[in-house]
Amino acid sequence: MPISRRYLITSTLLFLLVGAAALLALVGATVWLSQKAQVDAGLVNEQRVVRNRAVSVREALLTAESSQRGYIITGNEIYLAPYDNAKLVAQAELAELVAAVRMVARFQPMLPRLGTLVEQRLAELDEGIRLRDAGALNGGGAPAGTNQGKALMDELQVFLSAIVLEADDAQTVNLSTQTANILALRIGTVLVSILILGVVAGVVVTFARYTREIVEARDALAKANAGLEARVAERTKDLVQARDRAEILLTEVNHRVANNLALIGALIHMQRQAVVDEAARAALDETNARIQAITEIHKHLYTAGDVTSVELDGYMGALLAQLEKTLASEGHGAWIRQDIEPVRVSTNASINLGIIVVEWVTNAFKYAYKGRAGEVRVLARRSDSNLLVAVQDDGTGIAPGQPARGSGVGSRIVTTIARSLEARVEYLNLNPGTDARILLPLEPA
């Protein structure tokens, strides 16, 4: 079964938790055993001190005894210095021994007796020296008829030997405990190490398997991508060819439409020449101007590379130049001044704007100046996310509430187009002159 990313993360976390728990257990066991080892070492040291104190007491008494005997036998006072020193050592070591075993319940009953025995033995040795000094002893023996010194030493030997044996046994037990703890720590360390190695091995195996599956998936994806790229390249080639054919056909369509519209304009112009009625002639002129606006768009489309949008300055400039020439040929004396920014507008919006501008410019020529000279200004500029297109003149202006001049068809055309473009149309009185403007929302780039 393939390893998922979730399985990889879960298993890795589980391995790490197990390893961390084992490591913490090992650290805890090590700390506990270290503390226990310190306690056991302290106990061993205490038992060693007790043993050494007991042995020191015994050796001091034996030294005092041998020194006393040497003095009694030889009468040489050189033996008295070791004797006095041995007495002091015995008394000091006895005091330390009593302090060391005072808390041991087993030895508490014998401590008073042990102290009494040492005092009696030292007193008995002092008595022998006193008698030797008094000349009451023969050849260095003890007072006749007494065996007190041997009895005291034998009893002392029993007490001191018991303390030594007890200390040795306690040391043996504590050392055995330490050995067992060290062995347990070694075994635990080995087991935890094996467990941690197993955790590491598990993580490595899981990651290796996951990596291998990723590499295999990547290779499979690369093969699939290679095949897909080949198919996409082939399909792209077909689409490019189809697009080129479509563009050629669309260019041809725009060319034919422009020719047909030009032909229609020529027919309307011929019809105008045959009509006597001025109203009919004016209507035909207006119709021809509107057709000219649409014709210019199609001319621009089949000469440009983009058929979805139009540069407004190029299209509007050509349209206004043609319109100015036509109106001048009809005897109108006004002229057009352009101030158009290079804004790219959709083809549909460009056609509609062209029709509106033609209507407003024609009205300015006909009704604002009424055949006399004057300037008609055509403005187009971006305003935030909107496009402002305005036609201004310095003519007679529009009085408030004044009805539309001419047939009124142009006003209805402007209103209908503005509604379809979701644009706002305003007519401002410049005193003198009129400012006809439309505010068109631009599509996002």
Phi/psi for 276 (5° steps) reads -95, -35
Cα–Cα distance between 122 and 113 in angstroms, integer? 14
Q: What is the pLDDT of residues 120-148, one digit of tens each?
A: 888 888 888 888 888 776 544 444 445 77
Q: Where are the domains of the chain?
A: 5-211, 312-398+407-441
Cα–Cα distance between 167 and 173 in angstroms, integer? 10
Structure tokens at 64: 């005092």
Phi/psi for 336 (5° steps) reads -115, 135
Q: Is the dihedral of CA 206, 208, 209, 210 positive or negative?
A: positive
* Contact indicator for 2, 214 with CB cutoff of 8 Å: no
Structure confidence at residue 20 (pLDDT):
87
Structure confidence at residue 401 (pLDDT):
55
pTM of the model: 0.43
Q: By C-alpha distance, which of 314, 313, 355, 350 is closest to 442? A: 350
**CB burial of residue 54 (10 Å; 0-12, 13-18, 19+):** buried
Structure confidence at residue 238 (pLDDT):
82
Q: Which fold has domain 312-398+407-441?
A: Heat Shock Protein 90 (3.30.565)
Structure confidence at residue 16 (pLDDT):
85
* Contact indicator for 337, 377 with CB cutoff of 8 Å: yes
Structure confidence at residue 33 (pLDDT):
77
User: Consecutive sets of 10 residues in the chain, 445 residues long: mean pLDDT of each?
Assistant: 77 85 85 79 79 87 89 87 91 86 74 85 87 70 59 83 82 82 85 87 82 85 86 81 59 58 69 69 67 65 66 90 88 92 89 92 88 91 91 82 62 91 92 92 73
